[in-house]
Amino acid sequence: MITEPPSPSATPDSESASARDDAAARAPLGQDRRRGPLCEGDRVQVRDPKGRFHTITLVRGGRFQTNRGTLDHDDVIGLPDGQVVRTPEGREFQVMRPLLSDYVMSMPRGAAVVYPKDAGTIIQMGDIFPGARVLEAGVGSGALTLSLLDAVGETGHLVSVERRADFADIARANVDLWFGRAHPAWDLQIGDVADVATLFEEGTIDRVVLDMLAPWENLASVAHALAPGGVLTCYIATVTQMSRLVEDVRSMGAFTEPIAWETLQREWHLDGLAVRPEHRMVGHTGFLMTTRRLAPGVAPQRRDHRATKVSDGLDGMWDHEEGWNDEAVGTRVSSAKKVRRVRRDVRAKAATWVEDPTPGPGDDEIDR
């Protein structure tokens, strides 16, 4: 699917350009760029005395200035990572290289990013492994792409598809800035994932990750590209999207029973004996759904329980609100007999233990 451009004729200029390309290809990538003393050009995270974080790039003669004090870049260049620097104003600033999660939350973004809590879950539950061939759709600002590239490594192959050229440019810049050069395992394409997926030979992609508005529209092309046993992971924002996606996965008959969940993140306040959950948390960001590709011609395993009425797409329950009821949406409904029993018992207790009970309508039904 990926073709190399023809090699130009050997000239001194082309040889020097080739040498530069070879040197760039051998440049450290990933963790190798995050070791050793702090250097000019390093991206660092500065924590001010109030606990706020700022991401800056170290430059000779540069200065970081806030209303909490100033920090000269030269004071930390050449020192080991993990510094606490006291400024002339007597304020202390903590300086460290940022983690990937720090970079993701502070990097420029054109689209909303996949939060680290979700990216980590996608890597684990989607089983993204070193050397894997992965198809990603909906690149956005490149947040999830960074984690996927870390997981597949330089021996893997990640094909990322983004419809918007402006988002793709932002993602490419963010990824290149983090790794320091173009990642050898990454192929970023602008277009529609359905068109890209059908270009792969059948069953040659190990994992697929979709972060888009209507992932159900691409199930057929994903089924074509995904290897038997391969994992499809979808990141969706709303309950309605998740419901539609799950029912379409089931009705297609090419995947295992889908699993859906969400991950919540809450930090804790730690101050002596005052140990409690923080008031603010990263609550709902999106739902995750995973399913696996069955071998061609294999029917899904039958579920041994009574399922609620399902939607058959836009012509099904989705457009007929009169068919929506508690049972259809999966709400547990108490029987009329149970409701009568609970009503009788609780009103009898109230009549016994509440002073001066006032008879209300329907008291004659208590003993029924």
- Structural domain spans, the chain: 33-98, 103-302, 336-365
Q: Say which range, 72-81, 228-237, 248-257, 276-285, has the weakest mean pLDDT.
A: 276-285
pLDDT level of residue 162 (50, 70, 90 thresholds): very high
Higher pLDDT, 236 or 281: 236
Burial degree of 138 (CB within 10 A; 0-12, 13-18, 19+): buried
Question: How big is the CA angle at 92 (ends 105 and 54), to the nearest 5 degrees?
Answer: 20
99-106 mean pLDDT: 89
- The helix/strand/coil state of 120 is helix
The model's confidence at residue 48, banded by pLDDT at 50, 70 and 90, is confident
- Is the pLDDT reported for residue 7 higher than 90? no
Distance in angstroms (rounded) separating the CA atoms of residues 117 and 102: 12
Residue 29 CA to residue 156 CA, distance in Å, equals 14
Q: Are strands 69-72 and 205-210 parallel, antiparallel or unpaired?
A: unpaired
pLDDT score recorded for residue 41: 86
Which of 19-23, 132-136, 316-320 is modeled with the greatest confidence?
132-136
The confidence band for 50, taking pLDDT boundaries of 50, 70 and 90, is: confident
User: Is 3.40.50.150 the CATH number for 103-302?
Assistant: yes
Give the per-residue pLDDT at 308.
Answer: 54
Separation between Cα atoms, residue 51 and residue 43, nearest integer Å = 19
- Give the ranges where 26-95 is alpha helix by DSSP (H): none
Look at residue 23 and tell me whether its pLDDT is greater than 60.
no
For 329, half-sphere exposure in the C-beta direction (CA atoms, 13 angstrom radius) is 10
State what percent of residues in the chain have pLDDT above 70. 79
214: which residues sit within 8 A by CB, 6+ positions away? 241
360: confidence class by pLDDT, cuts 50, 70, 90: low
Please list the residues that pair with 293 across neighbouring strands. 255
Other beta carbons less than 10 A from residue 192's beta carbon: 15
- CATH number for region 33-98: 3.10.330.20
Q: What is the pTM of this model?
A: 0.75
Residues 96-105 as b/e (b if ≥16 CB within 10 A, e otherwise) read: bbbebbbbbb
Measured between alpha carbons, how far is residue 79 from residues 31, 109, 207, 285, 342 in Å? 18, 31, 42, 38, 71
Q: What is the pLDDT of residues 201-210, one digit of tens each?
A: 999 999 999 9
pLDDT at position 4 over 50: no
Q: Among 21-30, 261-270, 338-347, whose mean pLDDT is lowest?
A: 21-30
pLDDT in tens, 300-316: 988 776 655 554 444 44
Structure tokens at 165: 């050229």
